[in-house]
Chains A and B, each alone.
Chain A
């Protein structure tokens, strides 16, 4: 069980990750803002509590695998990895720059610890299912449920438009890949507007249940709920689990929250100064501030 102290520690990491996201996006001059901010609590939970991993040994065979399917929110992953100790936080400022290991969309061969290459939507779940299936193949017959590591796959809700997702969902459900847990960032926005206006993805729960998945819905900013959901997934033996994490796009910065126009643009320098102040004072809760 998560203690209150652990929860506030993860929250503090999430806040630091959000700061880094704003700093790296301003330095890059392009990129996505809303998605990474909205997933900061979940990525902080992954890198500072859920994942079995070793930042100094990113190829450790028994590590849990976190597959990022919607590659455009990779700033949140880079920031979380840097804060977890995979590489210096300053390197985040090289995002999207020539020669950087931090490509605009993540590339497996460029930076240890990324697991896969992504950007074109819809292909992460299949890769995660392939890894989960491969790990299970190596188990002695009769012990088909307990692999040495778990596979997680983070997806977006807009990405649920893609056919490849449902091919992979069918495959994972059919093969009862209980070592696979998917997370859908249900922030209700995509580039052209609200998901239910562009191409409705609901009823997500009923769809995944029909594909033989165990479905859990959580508040994606409630760290305890999210961690508990990943624990619940470990106790489900006959199905893969999908956690539908309801999130607020741009979470942490009032001006960005809920606004789909922040999907694919970075803040300007002036905006960033304001946003960083907002993050550092915890939206006005902290009076003194050191910049």
Chain B
């Protein structure tokens, strides 16, 4: 366990991660992914491991409000950042508007991709509301217009659902965004 003055980490060390608002100490090697740190060390198993190579989106979490893939992230790179997992989205034990919408509009079947879908959608709606265009936005120099089904499909393409619940997923997101609940 060595952490030099320069901040160099050689081997197993203890780092502090801020997860869902709490400071959590975790002992790990630099090669441990954020996904494994969350699931195996902090027992936050709501975040799922699908492909473990950045192709499926099941491991999506939010860092400082932005969606990322925790499987391609080294935990040591995320010290001091605000990490939000699916466990941090509910308010005092009651589901967030988007989580409820996934139930109402059948946004899942087996549920394995769901936490990634929901975290991704939270980040996506925030990106959309900040004016970020997408590959299907007609004019990138203009604002991003309305959140159409086409925009949702393009912006959520990094999250795969092997059950094929895409219609329900899109509808849950569209309804939540339309109702003004970005989270």
A and B interact physically: no
Show the binding face of B for A, using Cβ within 8 Å.
none
A residues whose Cβ falls under 8 Å from a Cβ of B: none
